[in-house]
Structure formats: C-alpha cells, structure tokens
C-alpha cells in the first residue's frame, strides 16, 4: 500500500505588504499504523500570495511536493470543505484522488504547532483567531439494513495493548501512533465492537467511508453515531436500555480522558480472534 497525504490550503493570520491575507499550503503524510514514527513523515509547506490562489498554483505546489517526496500518494485527504472544489481539481489535475476527511490528525497537530510557534514570528502577523467558514451539516443517516451489526458492545483496552496492533489479524483498518494523541501507556482507551456473520462486508463498506470518530449523541434522542468523511454521519444504534445508556455515557467520559482516542472493531462473533475491521480513531476540534 502506498502513502496517503493530508492537505490544507487556506489563508493564515499574516498580512503581506499590501495588507492582504497570506495563504499557505501544508501537505503531510498520514500515519497509518501504531508503529509510525511521526518525525519520519513527509511534510511540505509553501506560502502563497492571495493574488495567486487558484487550482493551477496548488497543482504546481503538489507536483513540487511529489518531486520532493520521490513518489505520489495513493490519495489526499482534506478537511476544509469550503476549499473542496479547488483542492479536488488541483489533485485531479495532478492525477491523485482527493477525499474529504476529518481523519487528518497529523495535519491538525502540525497546523496547531504553526499557529503557536511559526506564524507569530512572521512579519505582518495578526493575532487572534483565523476564522473558518462554518457550513451546515446534514443529519445522520440510517445504516443500510444489510450493514447493521447483529450485536455490539462497549469495551476498553489499555493504551499499551495497541503496541502489538501490527501483529493482530485485521482485514480492513487503520491506526496512528498514540504519541500523536499524547496518551500514556496506562490510559484506558474505550471502544465499540460490532459482531455480525457479515463482518467482512460491513468492514469493507466502513473502510471506504473515511472514518472520523464515534460519539454518543443526545441532540435528537440518545444514539451512537459514526462520523465519516467531512460531514457525513451514520446512526449505529438507538440506545434505550438504561444499562447501555450508562455504558454510552461512560464511553464518552473515557474518550475525553483519553484525549478523544477510541476505537471501533468488527468481528464475526465474540469468540473470534481476528478482526474483519479495526480502526483507531480520535475526535479532535478542526480549525
């Protein structure tokens, strides 16, 4: 499997000599498993004048990044929906599929670091927030009947247990090094296991969704929601049983204590020793 990249192309809190916002492209490699060393991941950054902001400039920057990396990624993830058309066209013109995704964990951390340490050092820096346009999100969708799990349970694992994740038998999945989320080996990581005789088709379907995170949602009833892509979400289960409701609240509390880290696994039955699918996830606040 080739590499996956993450991209952000947006204005920064810096004004040029003409008092116009300076733009910047950030490109980095996605960490794909728990053993990835973040200091070895590819990164590329370049400022852009507001008069040059277009898909052609971005395509050229992508081509320069590919030349620097030595190979092109198999796809590029981006979280900023208002840049959808420009990023998608630039990536397509460079011959790379673009995927709206909130699974941009390394990019988010890098962007935060630059906001705190790099931009304030630039001439023309403007303190305060750099607002992003907030777009409406669609309501959660109901899962297709064929993809509903026969049974599911809340579980927890210790962060240290994920050190051996590369040795687990997993059909579909993705992870990241827990150092990225700054959790200790003793931290309890909450998760949900889904059991179904159709575990492999369910895991295959989920693998194409750009999984973002799971959450216990109380905005319209009480339910477990799977967030995917840039804005999509799916109702995994409506929760009515008092005991399950307590477990769902415990899941959210444990997730917060683990800096948003959690997981979702898909197995054929509770006795299975392999996973049709397993994803390590993190809920983070995007810019």
**What's the rounded Cα separation, in Å, for the pair 280 and 34?**
9
Whether pLDDT at 147 is above 70: no
Band of residue 150 on the pLDDT scale cut at 50, 70, 90: confident
CB 15 within 8 A of CB 124: yes
- One domain, residues 174 and 262: yes
Whether pLDDT at 220 is above 90: no
- One domain, residues 101 and 160: no
Give the total number of structural domains in the chain: 2
What pairs with residue 81 in β-bridges?
A: none
- One domain, residues 265 and 172: yes
Residue at which a domain ends, from 71, 87, 121:
121
Domain extent at residue 195: 141-282
Average pLDDT across the chain, whole number: 93
- CA-nearest of 65, 66, 40, 43 to 113 is 43
Cβ burial of 121 (10 Å; 0-12, 13-18, 19+) is exposed
Please give the backbone phi and psi of residue 136, each rounded to the nearest 5 degrees, phi first.
-65, 145
Least confident of 68-72, 144-148, 215-219: 144-148
- One domain, residues 268 and 185: yes
- One domain, residues 51 and 95: yes
- One domain, residues 153 and 260: yes
Band of residue 131 on the pLDDT scale cut at 50, 70, 90: low
Summarize the confidence of residues 90-116 as an average pLDDT.
Answer: 96
Share of the chain above pLDDT 70, in %: 95
pLDDT in tens, 158-184: 999 999 999 999 999 999 999 999 999
Q: What is the reported pTM? A: 0.92
- One domain, residues 14 and 52: yes
**What is the CATH number for 8?**
3.30.420.10
């Amino acid at each position: 499997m080739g590499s996956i990249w993450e991209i952000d192309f947006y204005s920064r809190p810096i004004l040029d000599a003409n008092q116009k916002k300076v733009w910047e492209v950030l490109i980095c490699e996605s960490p794909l498993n728990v053993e990835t060393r973040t200091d070895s991941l590819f990164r590329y950054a370049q400022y852009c004048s507001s008069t040059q902001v277009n898909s052609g400039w971005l395509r050229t920057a992508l081509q320069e990044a590919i030349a620097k990396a030595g190979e092109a990624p198999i796809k590029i993830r981006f979280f900023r929906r208002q840049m959808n058309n420009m990023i998608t066209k630039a990536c397509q013109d460079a011959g790379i599929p673009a995927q709206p995704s909130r699974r941009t964990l390394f990019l988010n951390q890098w962007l935060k670091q630059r906001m705190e340490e790099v931009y304030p050092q630039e001439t023309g820096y403007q303190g305060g927030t750099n607002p992003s346009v907030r777009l409406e999100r669609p309501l959660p969708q109901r899962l297709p009947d064929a993809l509903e799990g026969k049974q599911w349970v809340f579980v927890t694992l210790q962060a240290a247990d994920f050190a051996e994740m590369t040795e687990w038998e997993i059909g579909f999945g993705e992870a990241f090094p827990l150092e990225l989320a700054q959790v200790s080996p003793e931290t309890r990581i909450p998760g949900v296991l889904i059991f179904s005789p159709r575990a492999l088709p369910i895991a295959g379907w989920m693998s194409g969704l750009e999984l973002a995170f799971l959450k216990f949602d109380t905005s319209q009833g009480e339910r477990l929601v799977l967030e995917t892509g840039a804005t999509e979400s799916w109702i995994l289960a409506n929760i009515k049983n008092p005991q399950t409701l307590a477990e769902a609240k415990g899941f959210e509390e444990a997730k917060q204590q683990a800096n948003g880290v959690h997981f979702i696994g898909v197995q054929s039955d509770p006795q299975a020793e392999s996973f049709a699918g397993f994803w390590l996830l993190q809920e983070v606040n995007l810019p």
